[in-house]
């Protein structure tokens, strides 16, 4: 399965782009605290989808999709922290993309599981 053809991967890559954009509004003192963690979580989402697709079994793919969902939950929490600190403006697009990424990732996971049920 080529990860670059998956909507879950494409959408999560767009989320990475937006995370980089949002991170620019964080203060300098957050560079090695929230900003670094925020970007690592964002990058981890499509990276784990890609790694799972590169593995030899659907079981491994599902495991990496779960890791991706965990990173998405981390990113969402870090985003909420940034909101509470008033670091971000115009955040609806990011929030919507987090939700959409979650739906696509879960949908892909369900599809992989269902095709293995006989």
The domain total for the chain is 1
- How does pLDDT run across 10-50, given as a tens digit for each residue? 999 999 999 999 999 999 999 999 999 999 999 999 999 99
Burial classification of residue 87, based on how many CB atoms lie within 10 Å of its CB (0-12 exposed, 13-18 middle, 19 or more buried): buried
Query: Any idea what the CATH number is for the domain that residue 82 is in?
Result: 1.20.1440.60
Global confidence as pTM: 0.94
CA distances from 110 to 16, 25, 46, 58, 83 (A): 24, 36, 18, 11, 32
User: What pLDDT sits at residue 89?
Assistant: 84
Range of the domain at 97: 3-115
Q: State how far the Cα of 62 lies from the Cα of 105, in Å rounded to an integer.
A: 10
User: What pLDDT sits at residue 118?
Assistant: 56
Q: What is the mean pLDDT of the chain?
A: 96
């Amino acid at each position: 399965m080529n990860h670059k053809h998956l909507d879950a991967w494409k959408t999560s890559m767009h989320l990475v782009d937006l995370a980089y954009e949002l991170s620019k509004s964080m203060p300098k003192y957050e560079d090695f605290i929230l900003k670094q963690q925020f970007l690592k979580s964002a990058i981890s989402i499509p990276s784990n989808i890609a790694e799972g697709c590169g593995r030899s079994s659907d079981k491994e793919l599902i495991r990496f999709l779960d890791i991706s969902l965990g990173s998405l939950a981390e990113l969402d929490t870090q985003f909420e922290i940034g909101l509470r600190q008033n670091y971000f403006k115009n955040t609806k697009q990011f929030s919507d993309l987090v939700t959409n990424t979650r739906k696509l990732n879960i949908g892909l996971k369900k599809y992989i599981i269902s095709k293995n049920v006989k």
